[in-house]
Chain A
Amino acid sequence: MAKIVPRPNLSFWEQVYFVEIFKGLVTTMGHAIRNITGQTKFPTVSYPEVQYDLPRDYRARHRLMKRPDGSPRCVACFMCSTACPARCINIVAEEAPDKHIEKRPVRFEIDLLLCVFCGYCVEACPCDAIRMDTKQAVMAGDNRADFVVNKESLMEWKPTDYPADDTQSQKAPGGSLHAQALDEFKSGTYH
C-alpha cells in the first residue's frame, strides 16, 4: 500500500520564500560572527596537533603493570590468553625466583592486529597485571611485525601519565598498599 506523504502546509510568508531566505542568512551570519570573534568552540579539532582527550576507561593499547622492583606483575597464569576471543596473547612462562609468585613471563606478546580490544584480558587477570588505559587509540607501523608488541614494549610507560591516587593499583600484588590490604583481608575489614 502506497504511503501518501502530505505536502507541508506552508503559510503565505513561507511560500514567498524571501522571508525564509532572509532568516537563513541571519542564521549563517550569526554563526560566522560568533566563529570569527572566537566565541564558539568548534566541534572539530585540528587533528594531529590537537587530539581529543579519551576517557581513562577507553579500551586502548595494553600496558603491563610493574612491581616496585620493576619486574612485571604478571604471574604467567594464562588467564588472559585463555579469555582472549581473538587469541592474540602469546605467553611463555618460566619459574620465578620468588617462591610465593611461582611463575613469571619470559615472553608476553600481543598481536595488536589480531586484538579486538574487547577488554576480556583485563577482566580475566587475577592480579591486575594487564590494563588497557593508555589512551593510545591510534597505532601506526610499517609492517605487520611492528604490531606484535613484546613484554618490554608493554612495560614502557611513565607513571606520571596516570592518576596518582589509584588505590586499586596500589593494593594489587606488588602495589605499595598490598601488605595493608592483605592485613585488612585477614581481619575481615577489606572492602
Chain B
Amino acid sequence: MQNFDIILTILKPLLIFGLLFQILPLLVLAERRGAAIIQDRPGPNRAYIAIPGLNLKLRGFGMIFNLTDAVKLLFKESFTAPFAHKWWYILAPAIPVVTAILTPAVLPWFAPIVHKPDGGALQVVSGQIFDANVGLLLLFAIGSLSVYGVVLGSWASNSKYSLLGGLRASAMMISYEVSMGLSVLGLILLVGDFSLTRIVEWQTTHAWGILVQPIGFFLFLTSMFAECNRNPFDVAEGESELVAGFHTEFASSKFMLFMTAEYLHVLLASVLISTLYLGGYSLAPFPLPNPFGAQGVEWVVLDTAWIQAHLGLVGGIMLIIGGGVLLLLSHLVSVHKRAYAATTATDKADRVKEFSLFSGAFMFLAFLSVAGGAFAIACGAPTPLSGVIHEAKPVYPLWVGIVTAVIQLHIVLGKTLAVAWLFIWVRWTLPRFRYDQIMALGWKIMINIALVNLLVTALIAKLIK
C-alpha cells in the first residue's frame, strides 16, 4: 500500500480520541462500581432501558447511568450565574478538556510500523500522533496549562467558595509540578532522551522504569494524583469545606466538560505512568534469560522484532488470557445471578433474565476469544520479506505490522486500566489530606526525596558508564 503512512496519519488521531472517549464511560462506571464494591454496597442499578419485544430491562451493570448522566447534563438549562464574568465563565470549562485532548498526541501507542510498499522505499510510521523529540517536555507543557481552566473557572465564577477552590488548586498543581518534573528526571538521565518512544524502547531493552527508579515511580505517582486533583489531593473541590470548589457555579454541559476533563486526566495520567514506568507497549519487565541458547544462557529481549517473530504465539496467548478474563466475568455474573435468585426481590425475574443474558454473552465471547487464540497459535509465525532489513531487524508485510500495532495497543491499554484502577482504589481508601499537610508534603518532603533520588541516579549512571 503506497499511501499507508498518509492514511494512518489521518486515522491515528481519530482512532486514539475515539478510543479514549470509549474508555471514559467505562472509567466512570469503574469508579461507581469500584466505590460500591469497596464500601459493601450493591452499586448503581436503577437506570435501565426497557427493550419492548423481549420483555427485558437492560441495566448493563450501571452502564446506563452514563447515558442518563449525558442526557440530563445536556438537556439541563445552561445557567450562567448573574454575578459571573460571562466570557471567561463560558471559556473556562473548555480549557482542561482541550489540554487533555491534546496530550495523547505525543504518547506512543505502538512501536513504529516499518513496511515496504511494492516497488517503493521503506516507510516508518510512528506510534505517536505527533513524533516530537521533546515529547515529554511538550506533554508537561500542555498538561500544566490545564490549571488555567480551574483558575479561570473559579475566578470567573465570582464566588468565594470557587475562588478558594481555585486558589488551592493552582497552588497545589504548581507545587507538585516541581516534584513531578524532578522525579521523572532520574529516568530521563538514564535513557538520555525526551522522546517517549525512545524511553519505551530503552525500557524494553534494559528494564521497566519501576524497577530502575522505584522511588521516582512513587514520587511521580503521588505527583500525578495531585495533578489530577484526585483523592487524597482533591482539596480543590473539597465538598466538606467548599461545596464543590472551583466548579460550584457550573451546571449542565459546562459541568460535564469539567467532569470529562477530570476523567480524561485520570486516563491520560494512567497512560503516562504505564508508558514511563511500566514499559509502555513492551511485553516483559526485563530481558528474559534463555538457558538453552547456543552459547549458554542468552538474554532474550522481548521487543517488537521478537513479537513479530512469534506473532501467532503472542497474539494467541493474549487472546486466551482475554478469554479467561471473560470466563471469569461470566462466572461472577452467574454467582450474582444465583445470589439474586435466592432473595425475595419483586423484580427477581427481570434481573435474573438480564444476568443470564450477560453471563451467556460473556461465555460466548470467551469461547470466541479462546478459539481465536488457538487458531492464532496454530497459524504460527509470519515470514519476513526477503532481503529487506531495517536497523538490523527483518521487515514483515504490512498486515504483520498492523497486527503487531494492535497487540501493542492492547498491552498499553491493559497497563493503563490497571493504573486507572489504582487511582480509583486509592480514592476510596484514603481520606483527604489537610491543605497545609499537602503543601508540607510537596515542598518539604517530596522535592527533597526527588533531588536525592536524582543525585544518586546521576552518580550511579556516571559510575556505570
Q: Which residues does A use to contact B, with CB under 8 Å? A: 18, 21, 24-25, 27-29, 31-32, 35-38, 40, 42-44, 46, 48-51
Contacts and interface: CB of A to CB of B under 8 A. Distances in A.
A21 B430 contact: yes
B425 A50 contact: no
A51 to B, nearest CB: 8
B335 A37 contact: yes
Contacts of B348: 49
B160 interface: no
B332 A38 contact: yes
Interface string B323-351: 00000000010011011000111111000
B155 to A, nearest CB: 34
B332 A37 contact: yes
Interface in B423-438: 425-426, 428-430
Interface of B: 34, 36-42, 45, 218, 332, 335-336, 338-339, 343-348, 425-426, 428-430
Contacts of A36: 37, 332
Given A25-B425, A49-B345, A50-B343, A38 B335 contact: yes
A79 B338 CA distance: 51
A50 B351 CA distance: 12
Contacts of B41: 42, 44
A38 B42 contact: no
A28 B428 contact: yes
B40 A40 contact: yes
A27, A42, A46, most chain B CB atoms within 10 A: A46
Given A37-B332, A38-B335, A31 B347 contact: no
Contacts of B45: 46
A49 B40 contact: no
B38 A24 contact: no
Contact of A50 (B38, B218, B336, B344): B344
B345 A28 contact: no
Contacts of B335: 37-38
B37, B45, B428, most chain A CB atoms within 10 A: B37
Given A38-B339, A46-B345, A50-B344, A31 B332 contact: no
Contact of A31 (B40, B338, B430): B40
B438 to A, nearest CB: 13
B47 to A, nearest CB: 13
A24 B430 contact: yes
A27 B428 CA distance: 11
A29 B40 contact: no
A21 B308 CA distance: 41
B34, B332, B345, B348, most chain A CB atoms within 10 A: B345
A146 B365 CA distance: 54
Contacts of A50: 343-346
A43 B332 contact: no
Contacts of A24: 429-430
B37 A32 contact: yes
A10 B430 CA distance: 18
A43 B42 CA distance: 10
A25 B42 contact: no
Given A35-B40, A50-B344, A28 B429 contact: yes
A187 to B, nearest CB: 46
Contacts of A42: 40-42
B40, B45, B428, most chain A CB atoms within 10 A: B40
A43 B36 CA distance: 12
A40 B38 CA distance: 12
A12 to B, nearest CB: 15
- Nearest 5 Cβ contacts at the A-B interface: A49-B345, A35-B37, A38-B335, A28-B429, A32-B37
Contacts of B344: 50-51
Nearest to B34: A32
B42 A44 contact: yes
A27 to B, nearest CB: 8
Contacts of B343: 50
B336 A38 contact: yes
A49 B347 CA distance: 6
Given A28-B38, A32-B34, A42-B42, 16 more contacts: A21-B430, A29-B425, A32-B38, A35-B36, A35-B37, A35-B38, A37-B335, A38-B335, A38-B338, A42-B40, A44-B41, A46-B45, A49-B348, A50-B344, A50-B346, A51-B344
